[in-house]
């Protein structure tokens, strides 16, 4: 297969410009992924560059996986040799390899957000800082920002310009010490320490510079300073650096991403070749025009020439409903309609929203209707308590210095080791210059009467320490699966979990985690555990999104970047939601909200629905929001029903849509059921009615489905059959 034939001239240009710096500005749907993969394939097949000497950086692991799959088809050569992954994953690998040169333990663990918070809290406690005066999360954000700017605690303190920053500086300093003691790195460290490694160890840098003849970076508009520096360092020798991005899709400034990286690329890399990809292959003309009108209002941007040869297609639908329940109901019934009319499959539809909390009303509606959906994130799998607990056990076994994990699990299940004991343990360890684990080992060796704790507690601590030591030894020569089972069994965790009220369900999450571990089985022990731990820490939830399943995708606008769906619903098109209220007093942030909206609209291939609720519940209270300003930027001729409404009209519309809802609620033949009745559902199969109650003109039934569990169903929607 010829790599170049199926490309348009601009795309071909982008693929073939292999010498020197290249900037590719790629509008949405312009075949960006295709260009990147073809470029890599071109380098390997036509230019005979060894895959070993190519680095390709993606924004998510999912994007990396996808690219790998595409390359396998395009250039069947050893794609394994490629360095392909997110910045974080690539840096983790580099530090695992060469981090020791700057004092990073070979065994380091990666702390996620949660772990970071607990460590910051501990640092604050030690410094006698009141968490009410300075919230840990504010401090965490600031530290993260400092790291993204490659500022050490010392440098940060020097540049501090107010009291708060001075406080942050002190916490930052102590936090770093605690991280070091725990042999741990946080997410930002992965990047910052790699830059530090390169800057202080020229020989290491040279090694990587010489290796990577070609570097590609995707989603360049969302890189931050650390990432920018990193790329600059590695590309320092050959300068064959190709970056791809779209300033209009920059939506991560809150994570310190800096659009200037892409806007100033030509200045920083003089002579860079610039390629514009402006033809959109994804969306209909109406969708492109709508998106263009929305983004055009931004002042801080260069206009682009996005266009498409695609048909005009359907007009954009704008709906107003009374509240978010009705909004969700509208979405669900509309999806149902599209599916019933055989226009689209459920899996081709996505519902996008600004904040995760908005998924709730949607989920409820999908459940009631009995329509399949998949939620990306939500209570994220790896953030569930039971999952984090087991991971903490595994991590602590892997790395005895990991005090955050130790503190998390030393009393889970309860072993009579409480707050007081732990505080004493920490203090005593500190005064002896030992880690907590070191102290526990000491306790095992000395006579019980020499322990400063009472005998019951000493006994507890000693048996805990012995158990962990035993497991640590087991990890050395056991199969990863056997080892996993030993951990859940011998720690008493399984028993403890199953005794909890919702234990069954939570235990299933552990089994789910176990299946993830299966992927690392072939890695010989003890490295299998290390590989597993690293794999799960750097995974985002979008990474696991499998679009082949035939169910509607519920996803945040941020996560939706880089994806495409035939049908897109954007809900919560209201002032305060999208744009989010936090952006009201900052024009730059407001522009980012607009870009977010733009990203959402441009995910759609065929159909766009923009939904708004007149009233919305937020933290108990109920708010009346005006229509999003973004809606008023869309010309009426692109919209199939009425555009923005004034607030007086909104009330009329609320009444109108209330009636409309009643119309598409088929209130005839509501099935009458009682507890104990057997029923059948198209998706959930057979089950037994547990509870049944009438609600207005409708009825709600709780049904225990065989092998599926309990579901609450609204009978006007769910197609139940009595058997």
Partner DNA sequence: CGAAAGGCTCTTTTT
Partner DNA sequence: GAGCCTTTCG
d(CA 397, CA 412): 15
- Catalytic position from the list 115, 219, 248, 258: 219
Residues 143-172 that bind DNA (CB under 7 A): none
d(CA 194, CA 351): 38
Is residue 5 involved in binding DNA (CB under 7 A)? no
Which range of residues in 262-270, 311-319, 413-421, 694-702 is near DNA by CB under 7 A? Answer: 413-421
| Closest separation in Å from C-beta 140 to DNA | 9
First to last CA, the chain: 57
Residues 117-136 that bind DNA (CB under 7 A): 121, 132, 135
* Residue of the chain from 7, 377, 517, 533 that contacts DNA (CB under 7 A): 377
CA nearest to 56, candidates 95, 84, 96: 84
Q: Nearer Cβ to DNA, position 443 or 542?
A: 542
Q: Structure tokens of 7?
A: 């490309």
Instruction: Give how far Cα 341 sits from Cα of 20, 570, 642, Å.
Output: 52, 22, 24
Which range of residues in 19-27, 414-422, 464-472, 566-574 is near DNA by CB under 7 A? Answer: 414-422
Is residue 638 involved in binding DNA (CB under 7 A)? no
Are 37 and 74 contacting, i.e. CB atoms less than 8 angstroms apart?
Answer: yes
Is residue 582 involved in binding DNA (CB under 7 A)? yes
Q: Does the annotation count 445 as an active-site position? A: no
Is residue 455 involved in binding DNA (CB under 7 A)? no
Is residue 501 involved in binding DNA (CB under 7 A)? no
* Residue of the chain from 37, 83, 325, 556 that contacts DNA (CB under 7 A): 556
* Residue of the chain from 32, 39, 282, 354 that contacts DNA (CB under 7 A): 354
Return all residues near 448 (Cβ < 8 A) that are at least 6 apart.
Answer: 455, 458, 459, 462
Task: Give a three-class secondary structure readout of 620-638.
Answer: CEEEECCECCCHHHCCHHH
Is residue 491 involved in binding DNA (CB under 7 A)? no
Is residue 261 involved in binding DNA (CB under 7 A)? no
d(CA 650, CA 636): 17
- Catalytic position from the list 33, 459, 490, 665: 33
Handedness of CA 45, 48, 50, 56 (dihedral sign): negative
Is residue 333 involved in binding DNA (CB under 7 A)? no
Q: Does the annotation count 314 as an active-site position? A: no
d(CA 671, CA 611): 31
- Catalytic position from the list 83, 86, 140, 249: 249
* Residue of the chain from 583, 625, 653, 657 that contacts DNA (CB under 7 A): 583
Which range of residues in 231-239, 523-531, 544-552, 582-590 is near DNA by CB under 7 A? Answer: 582-590
Is residue 505 involved in binding DNA (CB under 7 A)? no
Backbone angles phi, psi at 194, to 5 degrees: -65, -40
d(CA 401, CA 438): 9
* Residue of the chain from 97, 177, 355, 646 that contacts DNA (CB under 7 A): 355
* 654 alpha-carbon distance from chain centroid: 35
Which range of residues in 435-443, 462-470, 566-574, 616-624 is near DNA by CB under 7 A? Answer: 616-624
| Closest separation in Å from C-beta 39 to DNA | 22
Is residue 37 involved in binding DNA (CB under 7 A)? no
Q: Nearer Cβ to DNA, position 104 or 540?
A: 540
Is residue 256 involved in binding DNA (CB under 7 A)? no
Is residue 635 involved in binding DNA (CB under 7 A)? no
Q: Structure tokens of 513?
A: 């985690």
Q: Does the annotation count 249 as an active-site position? A: yes
d(CA 28, CA 250): 12
Q: Does the annotation count 80 as an active-site position? A: no
- Catalytic position from the list 12, 13, 32, 435: 32
| Closest separation in Å from C-beta 115 to DNA | 11
184-186 and 22-26 as β-strands: parallel, antiparallel, unpaired?
Answer: unpaired
| Closest separation in Å from C-beta 328 to DNA | 13
Return all residues near 652 (Cβ < 8 A) that are at least 6 apart.
Answer: none
Q: Does the annotation count 32 as an active-site position? A: yes
The helix/strand/coil state of 522 is: coil
Neighbouring-strand partners of residue 351: 554, 569
CA angle in degrees (0–180, nearest 5) for 111-374-334: 145
| Closest separation in Å from C-beta 145 to DNA | 11
Which range of residues in 8-16, 73-81, 87-95, 512-520 is near DNA by CB under 7 A? Answer: 87-95
Is residue 88 involved in binding DNA (CB under 7 A)? yes
Number of helices and strands (H, E) in the chain? Answer: 28, 22
Return all residues near 397 (Cβ < 8 A) that are at least 6 apart.
Answer: 468, 471, 472, 475, 487, 529
Neighbouring-strand partners of residue 221: none
Q: Nearer Cβ to DNA, position 89 or 720?
A: 89
Is residue 417 involved in binding DNA (CB under 7 A)? yes
d(CA 384, CA 367): 22
Backbone angles phi, psi at 105, to 5 degrees: -60, 145
d(CA 601, CA 594): 11
Q: Structure tokens of 351?
A: 């519902």
Q: Nearer Cβ to DNA, position 495 or 719?
A: 495
Q: In what helix (H) or strand (E) does residue 296 lie, and over which residues does it extend?
A: helix 285-296
Q: Does the annotation count 219 as an active-site position? A: yes
- Catalytic position from the list 603, 605, 616, 711: 603
Which range of residues in 154-162, 612-620, 641-649, 675-683 is near DNA by CB under 7 A? Answer: 612-620
| Closest separation in Å from C-beta 356 to DNA | 3
The helix/strand/coil state of 708 is: coil
* Residue of the chain from 5, 419, 548, 669 that contacts DNA (CB under 7 A): 419
Is residue 388 involved in binding DNA (CB under 7 A)? no
Neighbouring-strand partners of residue 400: none
Binding site for DNA (CB under 7 A): 59-60, 86-89, 112-113, 121, 132, 135, 137, 187, 251, 254-255, 354-357, 377, 379, 411, 414-421, 457, 538, 540-543, 556, 558-559, 580, 582-583, 589, 618-620
Catalytic residues: 32-33, 218-219, 249, 603
């Amino acid at each position: 297969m010829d790599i170049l034939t199926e490309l348009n001239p601009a795309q071909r240009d982008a693929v073939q410009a292999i010498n020197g710096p290249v900037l590719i500005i790629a509008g949405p749907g312009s075949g960006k992924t295709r260009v990147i993969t073809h470029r890599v394939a071109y380098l390997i097949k036509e230019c005979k560059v060894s895959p070993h000497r190519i680095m390709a950086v993606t924004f998510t692991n999912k994007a990396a996986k996808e690219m790998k799959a595409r390359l396998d088809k395009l250039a069947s050569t050893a794609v394994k040799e490629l360095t392909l992954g997110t910045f974080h994953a690539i840096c983790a690998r580099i530090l695992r390899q060469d981090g020791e040169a700057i004092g990073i333990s070979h065994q380091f663990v990666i702390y996620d957000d949660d772990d970071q918070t607990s460590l910051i809290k501990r640092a604050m406690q030690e410094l006698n800082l009141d968490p009410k005066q300075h919230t840990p999360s504010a401090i965490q954000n600031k530290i993260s920002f400092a790291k993204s700017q490659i500022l050490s605690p010392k440098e940060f303190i020097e540049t501090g310009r107010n009291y708060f920053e001075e406080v942050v500086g002190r916490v930052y300093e102590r936090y770093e010490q605690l991280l070091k003691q725990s042999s741990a790195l946080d997410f930002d460290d992965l990047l910052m320490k790699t830059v530090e490694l390169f800057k202080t160890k020229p020989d290491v840098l040279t090694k990587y510079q010489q290796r990577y003849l070609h570097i590609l970076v995707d989603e360049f508009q969302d890189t931050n300073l650390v990432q920018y520096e990193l790329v600059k360092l590695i590309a320092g020798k050959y300068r064959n650096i190709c970056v791809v991005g779209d300033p209009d899709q920059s939506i991560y400034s809150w994570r310190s991403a800096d659009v200037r990286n892409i806007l100033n690329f030509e200045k920083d890399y003089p002579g860079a070749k610039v390629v514009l990809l402006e033809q959109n292959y994804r969306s209909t003309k109406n969708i492109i025009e709508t998106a263009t009108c929305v983004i055009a209002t931004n002042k801080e941007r260069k206009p682009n020439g996005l266009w498409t040869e695609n048909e005009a297609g359907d007009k954009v639908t704008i709906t107003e409903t009374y509240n978010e329940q009705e909004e969700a109901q509208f979405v669900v019934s509309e999806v149902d309609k599209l599916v019933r009319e055989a226009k689209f499959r459920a899996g081709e539809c996505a519902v996008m929203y600004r904040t995760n909390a908005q998924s709730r009303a949607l989920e409820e509606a999908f459940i009631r209707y009995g329509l399949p959906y998949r939620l990306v994130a939500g209570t994220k799998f790896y953030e569930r308590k039971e999952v984090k607990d087991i991971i903490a056990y595994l991590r602590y076994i892997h790395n005895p210095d990991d005090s955050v994990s130790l503190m998390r699990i030393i009393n889970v299940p309860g072993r009579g080791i409480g707050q007081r004991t732990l505080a004493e343990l920490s203090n005593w360890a500190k005064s002896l210059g030992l880690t907590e684990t070191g102290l526990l080992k000491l306790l095992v060796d000395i006579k019980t009467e020499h322990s400063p704790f009472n005998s019951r507690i000493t006994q507890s601590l000693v048996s805990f320490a012995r158990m962990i030591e035993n497991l640590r030894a087991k990890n050395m020569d056991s199969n990863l699966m056997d080892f996993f089972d030993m951990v859940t069994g011998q720690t008493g965790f399984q028993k403890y979990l199953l005794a909890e009220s919702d234990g069954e369900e939570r235990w299933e999450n552990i089994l789910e985690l176990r299946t993830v571990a299966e992927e690392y089985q072939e890695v010989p022990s003890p490295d299998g555990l290390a590989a597993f731990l690293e794999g799960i820490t750097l995974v985002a939830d979008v990474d696991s999104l499998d679009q082949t399943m035939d169910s509607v995708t519920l996803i945040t606008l941020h996560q939706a970047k880089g994806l495409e769906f035939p049908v897109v619903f954007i809900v919560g098109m209201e002032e305060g939601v999208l744009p989010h209220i936090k952006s009201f007093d900052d024009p730059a942030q407001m522009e980012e909200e607009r870009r977010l909206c733009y990203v959402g609209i441009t995910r759609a291939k065929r159909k766009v629905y923009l939904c708004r609720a007149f009233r919305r519940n937020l933290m108990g209270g109920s708010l009346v929001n005006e229509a999003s300003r973004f809606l008023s930027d869309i010309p009426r001729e692109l919209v199939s029903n009425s555009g923005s409404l004034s607030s007086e009209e909104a009330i009329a519309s609320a009444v109108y849509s209330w009636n409309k809802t009643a119309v598409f609620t088929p209130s005839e033949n509501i099935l009458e059921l009682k507890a104990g009745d057997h029923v059948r559902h198209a998706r959930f199969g057979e089950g037994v009615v547990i509870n049944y109650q009438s609600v207005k003109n409708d009825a709600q039934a709780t049904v225990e489905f065989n092998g599926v569990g309990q579901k609450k169903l609204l009978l006007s929607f769910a197609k139940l059959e009595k058997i």
